A and B are shown apart, each in its own frame.
Chain A
Amino acid sequence: MAQSGGKKKVQPHIIEEWTGKIYTSLCITFLIVTIFSMVFFVASKGLSSFFVNGISFGEIFGGTQWKPDGEPALFGALPFIIGSFSTSILAALIAAPLGICAALFMVEIMPKYGKKYLQPVIELLAGIPSVVYGFVGLSVIVPFYRDIFPGQGLGIVAGATVLSIMILPTITSIATDALSALPPGLKEGSYALGATRWQTLYRTVLPTTMPALMTGVVLGMARAFGEALAVQMVIGNAPHIPTSLFESTSTLTSVITLSMGNTVMGSIQNNVLWTLALILMAMTFIFVFTVRWLERRAKR
């Protein structure tokens, strides 16, 4: 048809259709290229400490000594891995009950006041820059812990406290969405059987929405794991496995931000920092896959 009418004018909507197709494909191509080159870049830099500098996997993942300038140089990243995990898990432990209870309040108990006042305030927390959190942590939380606990206040607990406030909006808004999406029949059925509100929440609502709530917690943990600046300011950054929650320690991100600018590209020190970045990226992937898996379970 189109071949026979060579002079026939192309319909405007066909042009629009193609414009849209080309535009979106260009954007998608650009996005895919960006993502893959990022992954490739971090991986190639991060793996070079194993393949170019010949450091063993065991030394980085199992070593407890971090002496990049020492004789001999030691690159044990275990203290940072432990630091990152303990801070983000502790932050999630603090923030999850708070966030889920806030969501229950906003959806089930007092939707009017919750939606009107509490939700905007909690969402506001997401907009505060992390340097502000770090400074507040350094000026308020650290002196507070220093006064009432042994140690200098800088450490895992200070980091986790700051992080728990930072990830509160993530957990709360995802929990709110999950609870609002619950079919009303479920609750009505529970009330009809004579259950009280608490019994309904505890026995019906929470178990049903659990996978979605966990998605929020995991996303919050992912954010806590990757947060650099605020943690770096309050955790103390000593490269050792701490024996107390109030002792100075490091996370993967704080080591990278402290040392990256001071090391020369291509040197062993710099390559090992990229390896730490690679570990962070791998963890992000694991968090994303966990969320996907939880979402699939929630849909079933």
Chain B
Amino acid sequence: MKKSLMLVLTLILTFTLAACGQNNTAKNNTSGSNGGNSTGSELSGSILAVGSSALQPLVDQASQKFMDLNPKVSIQVQGGGSGTGLTQVSGGQADIGNSDVFAEEKLEAAEAGELVDHQVAVVAMATVINPDVNVDNLTKDQLVQIFTGKVTNWSEVGGNDQAIQIINRPSSSGTRATFEKYALGTKTEDLKGAIQEDSSGTVKKLVSETPGAIGYLALSYLDDSVKEVKYEGVEATVDNVANGTYPVWAYEHMYTKGEASEVVKAFLDFIASDEVQNADVVELGYIPASQMQVKRDVDGNITK
């Protein structure tokens, strides 16, 4: 008895694993055909959203709400970084690809052209330093000199005599790309002795504990353990970001391949609705896309 049970279990396991490869395409088909068939208002189908760990908390929370409203819809949210999100949506394995950067910055032009961009929120970043460092404001020039290793002591930028310790992100990170593009205006190299961490929590911990440390964090991570520095005299606040005076911010993108199916479209509309924008988005420390008084394109050109 036991043996045959084991045998059956093993076979089931084998076939489930073998079927996994086709699972995603099958899912896409169902959600697509559901879109065509549904006559009533009730949505059904499944959505797979992959990518950007910076955007994941928002998509996660919104998907829970959406599933409560539409019990027949199942949404799976996975992290894995912007590159993974873009790859998976472009390859058709995921319905939605979350990314911190424009698809054009990572993918080939042809692949990026197939994707439709949905900008759901804005994330702003502030330069943070160890609370013991006696500096309140840094200009773009000073930041460039610090992050390129030309200035290595806080006394050179108006602080006490202490060595500067850079806590950076890995060169492939979307957060670092945003910081370099909009705060520094130039790409920087990895300096010898600089520290690289990918998780915002670790960056915050290291900046708060390491003497003379400097790093950058999304506004949602700021608290008393690190000291926020003004950029060119401008404080990183929601208002300053929204009216365009504080430049270090990036869109959070949710990409679909071509036109979204009905259920995916409904979910994206739900995230763009006031219900989520004014509640979850603000609550989780993002800035609602609807509040932005300026727009920015992929080349960084700002329009009012």
Q: A23-B10, A146-B210, A262-B173 are in contact. Are A233 and B202 (CB under 8 A)?
A: yes
Since A240-B190, A270-B83 are in contact, a sample of 13 more A-B pairs with Cβ atoms closer than 8 Å, ordered by chain A residue number, is A23-B6, A67-B189, A69-B171, A70-B189, A139-B205, A237-B197, A238-B190, A248-B194, A250-B196, A257-B198, A258-B172, A258-B196, A262-B82
Chain A residues in the interface with B (C-beta under 8 A): 16, 19-20, 22-23, 26-27, 30, 66-70, 138-139, 143, 146, 152, 154, 233, 236-240, 247-248, 250, 257-267, 269-270
Q: Name the 7 nearest CB pairs between A and B, nearest first.
A: A261-B81, A262-B172, A237-B196, A265-B87, A258-B170, A236-B195, A263-B83
Which chain B residue shows the least CB distance to A273?
Answer: B172
Interface residues of B (CB under 8 A from A): 3-4, 6-7, 10-11, 14, 53, 79-84, 86-87, 91, 106-107, 165, 170-174, 187, 189-198, 202, 205-206, 209-210
Look across to chain A and name the residue whose beta carbon is closest to the beta carbon of B91.
A265
Does the CB pair B7–A19 fall under 8 Å? yes
Given contacts A138-B202, A233-B202, A238-B195, contact A262 B170 (CB under 8 A): yes
Question: Which of A68, A154, A240, A270 lies in contact with B171, CB distance below 8 A?
Answer: A68
For B198, what are the chain A residues with a Cβ–Cβ distance below 8 Å? 257-258
The residues of B that contact A247 with a CB separation of less than 8 Å are: 192-193
Known contacts A247-B193, A264-B83: A27-B172 contact under CB 8 Å = no
B residues in contact with A146, CB < 8 Å: 210
Q: Which residue of B lies closest to A26 (CB)?
A: B10
Q: Are A259 and B202 in contact (CB under 8 A)?
A: no
Q: How far is the CB of A167 from chain B (nearest CB, A)?
A: 23
Q: Known: A19-B3, A23-B7, A67-B189. Is A248-B195 also a contact (CB below 8 A)? A: yes
Residue of B nearest to A262 (CB): B172
Q: Is the CB of B171 within 8 A of A152?
A: no
Least distance between B92 CB and chain A CB atoms (Å): 13
- With both beta carbons as reference points, the residue of chain B lying nearest to A22 in the complex is identified as B7
A68–B196 CA distance with the chains assembled, in angstroms:
15
Residues of A within 8 A of B165 (CB): 152
Are B172 and A68 closer than 8 Å at their CB atoms? yes
In the bound complex, residues from chain B placing their C-beta under 8 Å from that of A27 are 10
Contact A238 B196 (CB under 8 A): yes
